[in-house]
């Protein structure tokens, strides 16, 4: 490996398909690699190599964790939303599930916030997009459990907000950055959809910095209520979407029906792309017209217009169907057409690069 993390052209081939090209970064839960899909015209992808506590071939605990990660990664392939990172494939090498994902060109919200807080409107735009991605995950039985600025990416050129790492980290609350873990999750394995909303509130509070709550208008009370100690006291996703949408001048922001997912499409890099995305992440542009979330392949979800797309607030979602054995490989989800690909990505994938508390 060279000093800049690049690998030679004959570097390791994962799953007989994905040729590692360079290391993007490493964190407490694994290493993320840039790779080429040799069965997909050399398209660039990101491949996550989870960090296991031992060898799955000989260690029962490592084998159990590998099985869970495989299960959760397969479930993550069903999340369809413009602001959810696309998981294309899961392949097993030496008992370890490698997770193949969309490679995003941009930087993490954590990097952005190191330069200073955001205007309230930009924080609301990001929050509305993240909320849409969370609801799409909740609709297929996934609780994110790790919403914080390092897992939110802002795509270069388009401003698209991308939430990464859908329940496929190690799941330990102590590894999450301080201040972004809901009380019930910190106290034990009690995470549910409402826990993700608490973390969303913490993320929005971090985004606006120490701004006077009185200067935030309706956002101030919303942030306080999202971070209520009791899950039942937090506003539900419908109310959160309404407040954020109204603040952005989008009017009534309705829910996108995940059952009506459309074919993948690329965001338009125009001056108003950010505001347009904030509206599209949660619902239709015209009455009766459903906006299909970006994603590849099958239609998911069971919600219909006017119905909640996830479990009731504060409850655990129904889990996905029982996975196949870790040794079996699901079919790779199709990639967007070559003409629709974005320009060569930067080494800017926030997935799993969140450091342990106190390491910044």
Catalytic residues: 146
SS3 135: helix
Neighbouring residues of 337: CB distance < 8 A, sequence distance ≥ 6: none
Q: Is 30 in contact with 106 (CB distance < 8 Å)?
A: no
Burial of 249 (0-12, 13-18, 19+ CB in 10 A): exposed
Angle ∠(205,210,214) on CA atoms, nearest 5? 85
Q: Is 32 left (phi over 0), alpha (psi -120 to 50) or beta?
A: beta
**Rg, C-alpha atoms of the chain:** 19
SS3 130: helix
Task: Give the strand pairing for 13-14 and 152-155.
Answer: unpaired
Q: Is 58 left (phi over 0), alpha (psi -120 to 50) or beta?
A: alpha
Compute how many other C-beta atoms are within 10 angstroms of the C-beta atom of residue 320: 16
| Number of alpha carbons in the 13 Å side-chain half-sphere of residue 21 | 17
b/e string for 41-71 if b means 16 or more Cβ within 10 A?
A: eebbbbbbbbbbeeebeeeeebbebbbbbbb
């Amino acid at each position: 490996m060279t000093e800049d993390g690049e690998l030679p052209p004959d570097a390791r081939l994962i799953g007989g398909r994905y040729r590692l090209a360079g290391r993007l970064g490493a964190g407490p839960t694994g290493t993320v690699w840039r790779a080429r899909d040799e069965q997909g015209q050399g398209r660039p992808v990101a491949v996550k190599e989870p960090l296991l506590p031992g060898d799955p071939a000989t260690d029962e605990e490592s084998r159990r964790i590998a099985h869970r990660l495989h299960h959760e990664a397969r479930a993550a392939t069903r999340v369809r939303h413009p602001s959810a990172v696309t998981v294309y494939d899961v392949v097993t090498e030496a008992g370890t599930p490698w997770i193949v994902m969309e490679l995003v060109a941009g930087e993490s919200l954590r990097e952005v916030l190191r330069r200073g807080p955001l205007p309230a409107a930009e924080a609301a735009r990001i929050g509305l997009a993240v909320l849409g991605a969370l609801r799409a995950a909740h609709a297929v039985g996934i609780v994110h459990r790790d919403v914080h600025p390092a897992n939110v990416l802002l795509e270069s050129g388009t401003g698209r907000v991308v939430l990464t790492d859908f329940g496929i980290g190690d799941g330990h609350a102590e590894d999450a950055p301080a201040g972004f873990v809901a009380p019930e999750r910190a106290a034990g394995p009690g995470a549910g959809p409402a826990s993700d909303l608490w973390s969303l509130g913490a993320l929005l509070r971090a985004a606006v910095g120490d701004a006077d709550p009185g200067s935030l208008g309706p956002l101030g009370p919303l942030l306080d209520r999202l971070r209520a100690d009791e899950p039942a006291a937090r506003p539900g996703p419908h109310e959160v979407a309404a407040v954020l949408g109204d603040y952005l001048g989008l009017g009534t922001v309705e829910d996108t029906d995940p059952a009506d997912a459309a074919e993948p499409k690329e965001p338009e890099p125009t001056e108003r792309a950010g505001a347009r995305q904030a509206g599209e992440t949660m619902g239709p542009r015209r009455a009766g017209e459903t906006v299909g979330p970006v994603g590849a392949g099958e239609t998911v979800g069971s919600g219909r217009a006017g119905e909640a797309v996830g479990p009731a607030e504060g409850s655990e979602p129904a889990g996905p169907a029982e996975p196949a054995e870790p040794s079996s490989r699901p079919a790779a989800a199709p990639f967007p057409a070559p003409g629709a690909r974005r320009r060569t990505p930067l080494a800017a994938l926030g997935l799993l690069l969140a450091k342990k508390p106190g390491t910044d």
